[in-house]
Amino acid sequence: MKSILISIRLICVAFFAIGLLASAASAQRIQFGDFAQLEAKAAEVVDVTLDEKMLQLASKFLSSKDPEQAKVKEIVAGLKGVYVKSFEFDKDGEYSKEDIDKLRAQVRGPGWSRIVGVTSRRAHGENVEVSIMTEGDRIIGLAVIAAEPRELTIINIVGLIDLDKIAALQGNFGIPRLDLEINRKSDKK
């Protein structure tokens, strides 16, 4: 009887741990919501949904022998999903501030930190926010919300994100050279 109680407790602990892991993964993923009204107004819509299975399948086509492809393969190995939604409109004002506020509210929740905010008050200004979700010293989620008068783009990357590896890809695969420098603790000596 005692061993049955211990087994039941272990099973309960296991289900609890699985539940915590599942809720952490779902917290990284931004819920884009129902954009049917925006899709109807948009001149162009881009919708990318790459879950973990699709990312693994795509990485099989990358060569481990080619150094650049091997770097990409290594980055993709830690990802659980890449999600992009982008709308381009023929005229200004086709989306509302409330549409953006619903997205922003999600990346202001527990675990998320805003690391970049660009706000332009010019007539054709661009407003960009970049937020990361961390777990200890690891980045496990990234969200970008970019809003222009005629364009709205949301990018969400879920999974382990290594900024050193991403910075190493600059100038390759069409990724522009941004002169990103990652400050490491060992560099500060």
Tokens 């783009």 — which residue?
Answer: 153
Distances in Å between the Cα of 62 and the Cα atoms of 56, 68, 71, 182 are 10, 9, 10, 26
Count up the domains in the chain and report the number.
Answer: 1
**What is the Cα–Cα distance from 41 to 47, expressed in whole angstroms?**
15
Cα–Cα distance, 119 to 22 (Å, whole number) = 34
Flag whether pLDDT at 33 surpasses 50. yes
pLDDT mean over 20-24: 39
* Interatomic CA distance for residues 189 and 181, integer angstroms: 16
Each residue's pLDDT tens digit, 98-108: 888 888 888 88
Q: pLDDT above 90 covers what percent of the chain? A: 13
Beta strands in the chain (DSSP E): 44-51, 79-88, 112-118, 127-135, 138-148, 151-161
Least confident range of 18-22, 28-32, 52-56: 18-22
- pLDDT tier for residue 15 given thresholds of 50, 70 and 90: very low
Tell me which residue range forms the domain holding 60.
Answer: 2-188
Considering only residues 65 and 9, tell me which one the structure prediction assigns the higher pLDDT. 65
pLDDT band at 116 (very low <50, low <70, confident <90, very high): confident
Mean pLDDT, rounded, of the chain: 75
Identify which has the larger pLDDT, 180 or 159: 159
Residues 131-151 have a mean pLDDT of 90
pLDDT band of residue 171 (cuts 50, 70, 90) is low
Q: Which residue has the higher pLDDT, 145 or 169?
A: 145
